[in-house]
Amino acid sequence: MIDFEALAEAMGDLDEDVMVEKLTQVMEEGGTDAPKALDACQKGMDIVGQLFEDGEYFVGDLIYAGELMTKAVDILKDGLVTGDGNGEKKTKMILCTVKDDLHDIGKNIVRSMLEAAGFDVLDLGIDVPADRIVDTAKKEDIHIIGLSGVLTLAIDSMKNTIDAFKEAGMREQVKIVIGGAPVNAEVCEQTGADAWASSPQTTINYCKEWEAALE
């Protein structure tokens, strides 16, 4: 019998050996517990996010945690397809680095953690213009948007993107969270975003809150 609490702790401790051992055991036993194992890994990612917020983990730890989560999904994938999962539809959201900014490390960390939290993340990449974000949201019927940026000039791009949603008559239909080095409460107000995040876990918390409101 798999100890799922120990699996969550292993993920939270970034203990790859123990995590792989337990996930391999899940698959060796038929894979029917793969969804539960993935939930345990997700709890572990929540621990990682909290430790980052508390200053005990650093960016390198978040990157490594994202790599572990990717590895976990890869090990469990056959069980997730054929196992006894509940088949719930995931909430789709957009994540990208805004126009004129080419940084993606922070975005990629957030994407991994959002996916671990159960979101279907449509990652549009870097240097993404406002019209593409708006068009994608409209086409895919997406109501949660995450905008990332590291450079100061990304602030203007974030504001332009949010203004583009207003011009398209879609601003009331979407919730937008911004994040990155230059972002703070003042920038959030300046751009017209719904929220700002100083850490991946804060982003997840906002998205989960908005997800619940959509149901």
Q: Is the pLDDT of residue 85 over 60?
A: no
Range with the poorest average pLDDT among 26-35, 77-86, 175-184? 77-86
What is the fold, at CATH topology level, of the domain defined by 92-214? Rossmann fold (3.40.50)
Mean pLDDT of the region 146-175: 97
Q: What is the pLDDT of residue 84?
A: 41
Burial of 118 (0-12, 13-18, 19+ CB in 10 A): middle
Mean pLDDT of the region 115-124: 90
Give me the chain's average pLDDT, please: 91
Judge contact between 193 and 161, C-beta under 8 A: no
**Domain 4-82 identical in fold to domain 92-214:** no
Q: What is the pLDDT of residue 82?
A: 42
Mean pLDDT of the region 193-201: 91
Task: Tell me the CA distances in angstroms from 114 to 46, 56, 94, 118, 168, one per residue in order.
Answer: 10, 20, 11, 7, 27
The domain segmentation of the chain, as residue ranges, is: 4-82, 92-214
**How far is it, in rounded angstroms, from Cα 110 to Cα 98?**
15
Mean pLDDT of the region 30-37: 89
**How far is it, in rounded angstroms, from Cα 204 to Cα 210?**
10
Confidence of residue 106 (pLDDT cuts 50, 70, 90): confident
**How far is it, in rounded angstroms, from Cα 19 to Cα 195?**
34
Strands (E), the chain: 92-98, 120-128, 144-148, 175-179, 195-197
**How far is it, in rounded angstroms, from Cα 103 to Cα 146?**
14
Which numeric CATH code is attached to 4-82? 1.10.1240.10
Structure tokens at 148: 């990332």
Mean pLDDT of the region 171-182: 96
- The residues, ordered by sequence, that sit 6+ positions from 57 with a Cβ below 8 Å of its Cβ are 48, 51, 65
Q: What is the pLDDT of residue 81?
A: 57
Mean pLDDT of the region 130-139: 98
Q: Is the dihedral of CA 199, 203, 208, 209 positive or negative?
A: positive
Q: CA-based diameter of the chain, in Å? A: 56
Q: What is the pLDDT of residue 88?
A: 62
- pTM here is 0.74
Q: Is the pLDDT of residue 28 over 90?
A: yes
